[in-house]
């Protein structure tokens, strides 16, 4: 296991199987750990009820996404669940790190692999479910996808679970508070002094 020492603010990549609760972890961090700078991804999927453009995602068109890719504006991007495209705008991440913030990307496995290649010094964290049964329960319990979509996501989840050894550390999402506390302990927040309002 390769765990870089915590020398100050750094980039952390959080990935894990679908429905493991990455979004819940992000939301909890946003609310309870305001010193953590969270990347806001672009996506071509439609907003779900309650999602706010610019806060949860930047919801953009296919043409806009193509432009960002062509302009090399994305640090990584991927087509997720064979449906929509998601990507991390490069410049805000570079700016946050340059300003000394602990920055976190919550992305899928394909994206994590791309960041591993371009920013190998980042910390790669795998968010794991307490068990496979619990993951299935969370996936079906959410009730926001149809049967075909759920089957597609389960297939993706199996592949994603097998990728755990590629990551530096694993955090089990048994409770969001506990998982976030463990994650934050790894983020390099100690030296992350500046206020996020200047970011
Ligand atoms: P959802 O549509 O449920 O919000 O997210 C679906 C998947 O897309 C999740 O696994 C999430 O981690 C992933 N995702 C969100 N933003 C990005 C991104 O910027 N890049 C990549 N590669 N995946 C992302």
Whether 22 is in a domain gets the answer yes
- Domain count for the chain: 1
Is the CB of 57 inside a 6 Å radius of any atom of ligand 1? Answer: no
Given this model, what pLDDT does residue 198 score?
40
Which is it for strands 36-38 and 11-15: parallel, antiparallel or unpaired? unpaired
In a domain, 109, yes or no: yes
Residue 198 lies in a domain: no
pTM of the model: 0.87
Q: Is the CB of residue 36 less than 8 Å from the CB of residue 29?
A: yes
Question: Is 16 among the domain residues?
Answer: yes
Confirm whether 87 is domain-assigned.
yes
Q: Domain of 82?
A: 11-191
Q: How far is the CA of 80 from the centre of ligand 1 (A)?
A: 7
Q: Does 68 have pLDDT greater than 50? A: yes
Does residue 116 form part of some domain? yes
Residue by residue, DSSP assigns the chain as -------S--EEEEE-STTSSHHHHHHHHHHH-TTEEEP--EESSPPPTT--BTTTBEE--HHHHHHHHHTT-EEEEEEETTTEEEEEEHHHHHHHHHTT-EEEEE--HHHHHHHHHH-TTSEEEEEE-S-HHHHHHHHHHH--S-HHHHHHHHHHHHHHHTTGGGSSEEEE-SSHHHHHHHHHHTS--TT--S-GGG-
Q: How far apart, in whole angstroms, are the C-alpha atoms of residue 119 and residue 193?
A: 23
Separation of CA 24 and ligand 1 centre (Å): 13
Q: What CATH number has the domain bearing residue 27?
A: 3.40.50.300
6 in any annotated domain: no
| Domain contains 197 | no
pLDDT in tens, 88-124: 999 999 999 999 999 999 999 999 999 999 999 999 9
Counting residues of the chain whose pLDDT is more than 90, the rounded percentage is 67
| 86 within ligand 1 shell (Cβ under 6 A) | yes
Residue whose C-alpha is closest to residue 74's, from 84, 83, 65 = 65
């Amino acid at each position: 296991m390769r765990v870089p020492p915590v020398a100050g603010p750094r980039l952390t990549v959080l990935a894990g199987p679908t429905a493991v609760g990455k979004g819940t972890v992000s939301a909890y961090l946003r609310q309870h750990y305001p010193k953590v700078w969270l990347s806001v991804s672009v996506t071509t999927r439609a907003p779900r009820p309650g999602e706010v453009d610019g806060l949860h995602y930047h919801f953009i068109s296919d043409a806009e996404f193509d432009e960002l890719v062509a302009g090399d504006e994305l640090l990584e991007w991927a087509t997720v669940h064979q449906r929509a495209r998601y990507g991390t705008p490069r410049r805000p991440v570079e700016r946050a790190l340059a300003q000394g913030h602990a920055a976190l990307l919550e992305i899928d496995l394909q994206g994590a692999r791309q960041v591993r290649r371009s920013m190998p010094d980042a910390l790669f964290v795998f968010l794991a479910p307490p068990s496979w049964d619990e993951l299935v329960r969370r996936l079906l319990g959410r009730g926001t996808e149809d049967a075909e979509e759920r089957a597609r996501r389960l297939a993706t989840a199996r592949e994603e679970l097998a990728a755990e050894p590629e990551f530096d550390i694993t955090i089990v999402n048994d409770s969001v508070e506990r998982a976030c506390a463990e994650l934050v302990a790894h983020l390099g927040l100690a030296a992350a002094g500046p206020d996020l309002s200047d970011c």
